Structure 1
Amino acid sequence: MTEPTDQTAAPVLLLASASPARLATLRSAGLDPLVLVSGVDEERALDGYPDLAPDEVPLLLARAKASAVATLLESDDAPADVPDDVLVLGCDSVLELDGEVHGKPADAAEAVARWQRMRGRSGVLHTGHWVVDLRDGSAGGTGATIGAVSSTTVHFADVSDAEIEAYVATGEPLAVAGAFTTDGLGGAFVRGIEGDHHTVVGVSLPLLRDLLAECGVAWTSLWGPRG
């Protein structure tokens, strides 16, 4: 592992995700990341990988998103207002239930059916993380492209059909992997979790700290406003 140091020029983290929950989680932890959405077609990214284990799916997608943004930043089409010497973070989350992988529900009917299966039971929320270090070597850059998965067991409450219908009608379950949240309206429908609760929100802070340390970046060097 490269030893993290606070003496290196303050690095810039760029989140390759449109998730407001991930951004809010990073900001609440003292980070101030840039955001550039990857636009990766998830179904196409998974083509050719029919036998992935449930925890391998979000890691592949996180890598695809981080790599897509990294490639854009190194091209002539890179946005003028985004520096090209950043640490790119891609994330993706899926829910494993009965060995099957579930992302965002396609529609309200699927969300209702999903909750009817989940209620009173437990599933595993897997969040993949991928970091691409685009910093110049003179600024401490390592050229690393590394990732890992954080998995958390989620115990769901035995909610009624009426509660499921009301929850799905809010639209929240349609926007998140697994069709639930712990930091929003769905929080009352989760009895407990085993593992890092940040994983369920969409980005594991302890795991991200470890990945950044592999790039020689001290977590505390990211605290405060950019620049």
Structure 2
Amino acid sequence: MPPSPLPDVPAVQIVLASASPARRSTLRSAGVEPVVHVSEVDEDLTVAEATERYGLLEPADIALLLARAKAEDVAGRVDDEVVVLGCDSVLELDGEVHGKPADAEEAVLRWQRMRGRSGVLHTGHWLIDERQGGGATLGATASTTVHFAEISDGEIEAYVATGEPLTVAGAFTIDGLGGAFIQAVEGDHHNVVGLSLPLLRELLADAGIEWFDVVGSLRRGPDCG
């Protein structure tokens, strides 16, 4: 018996509270076409307020805190029957938290510390079910150990000069120019891109939503091949 065709429109629409092209691409590769609404969260202020209230936060908790803040911000601005997904990634190195480097100098120094060593990439995920009869709000953090290659100062400077490290948490990608400098990962490699598909499936299930409820038959544009 042939498999049932996927519907053009999924039963449940995901709204991605992130401007990250990599997160959108990860979802699309898995058959999920999100609607993107970028959050207006002040990340530094959010972390500062939480630290003042609760004390020093663990890196994984910071990722989840920001993912929740982004999801709540967008959920407060959408009217549709949707499920909002917020995500945020941070790199933990020597117990310190690193997001996007402020400038090229910081990116170079970051890579000089990371090369030949390992860090943990934490990505917080937060779901808010805005559908009538829904109401679930829940989240979790996925953590993946990343082993960085021993690269030269020249390679670091050339990589930083591309501009890519300045746009991503941890100053590296695994699905872009930085992929050549990642020796290995332990855990979900999707998480290093910025969104763990297995964790998302689990969170949806906890909210009573089946995975294929959010999957539809994507109408591929010219950028999708």
Indicate the residue corresponding to 1:205 in structure 2: 197
Indicate the residue corresponding to 1:121 in structure 2: 117
1:49 deviation in Å?
2.5
Q: Secondary structure at the match of 2:87?
A: strand
Q: Aligned partners of 2:132, 2:48: CA distance in 1, in Å? A: 33
Alignment equivalent of 1:92, drawn from 63, 85, 88: 88
Structure 2-normalised TM-score?
Answer: 0.89
- The residue correspondences of 1:2-17 to structure 2 (distance < 5 A) are 10-17=11-18
Indicate the residue corresponding to 1:151 in structure 2: 143
Q: Aligned partners of 1:189, 1:99: CA distance in 2, in Å? A: 22
Q: Aligned partners of 1:46, 1:53: CA distance in 2, in Å? A: 11
Q: What amino acid sits opposite 2:137 in the alignment?
A: T
Q: What amino acid sits opposite 2:17 in the alignment?
A: A
Does residue 1:177 correspond to 2:169, yes or no?
A: yes
Indicate the residue corresponding to 2:153 in structure 1: 161
Q: What amino acid sits opposite 1:197 in the alignment?
A: H
Over residues 75-123 of structure 1, what are the superposed CA-to-partner deviations in whole Å (9 max), with x where a residue is unaligned?
xxxxxxxx52100000000000000000000000000000000000000
Q: What amino acid sits opposite 1:31 in the alignment?
A: V
* Total equivalences in the alignment: 206
> Where in structure 1 are there 5+ consecutive unaligned residues?
1-8, 74-82
Q: Secondary structure at the match of 1:55?
A: helix
- The residue correspondences of 1:66-81 to structure 2 (distance < 5 A) are 66-73=71-78
Indicate the residue corresponding to 1:77 in structure 2: none
Q: Aligned partners of 1:40, 1:49: CA distance in 2, in Å? A: 13
Does residue 1:221 correspond to 2:213, yes or no?
A: yes
Indicate the residue corresponding to 1:64 in structure 2: 69
1:45 deviation in Å?
1.0
Q: What amino acid sits opposite 2:111 in the alignment?
A: W
Indicate the residue corresponding to 2:130 in structure 1: 134
Q: Aligned partners of 2:98, 2:81: CA distance in 1, in Å? A: 34
Q: Secondary structure at the match of 2:77?
A: helix
Indicate the residue corresponding to 1:40 in structure 2: 41
Q: Aligned partners of 2:89, 2:150: CA distance in 1, in Å? A: 23
Q: Aligned partners of 1:147, 1:35: CA distance in 2, in Å? A: 19
Moved over 4 A (4+): none
1:39 deviation in Å?
1.5
Structure 1-normalised TM-score?
Answer: 0.88
1:225 deviation in Å?
4.3
> Which has the higher mean CA deviation after the structures are superposed, 51-60 or 213-222?
213-222
Over residues 42-74 of structure 1, what are the superposed CA-to-partner deviations in whole Å (9 max), with x where a residue is unaligned?
01111223310111001000000000001112x
Q: Aligned partners of 2:125, 2:49: CA distance in 1, in Å? A: 21
Q: What amino acid sits opposite 2:164 in the alignment?
A: E
Q: What amino acid sits opposite 2:44 in the alignment?
A: E
Q: What amino acid sits opposite 2:96 in the alignment?
A: E
Q: Aligned partners of 1:32, 1:215: CA distance in 2, in Å? A: 19
Q: What amino acid sits opposite 1:55 in the alignment?
A: A
Q: Aligned partners of 1:225, 1:85: CA distance in 2, in Å? A: 20
Q: Aligned partners of 1:181, 1:10: CA distance in 2, in Å? A: 32
Which of the pair has the greater relative contact order for Cα pairs under 8 Å at 6+ separation?
Answer: 1
Q: Aligned partners of 1:16, 1:225: CA distance in 2, in Å? A: 22
Does residue 1:21 correspond to 2:22, yes or no?
A: yes
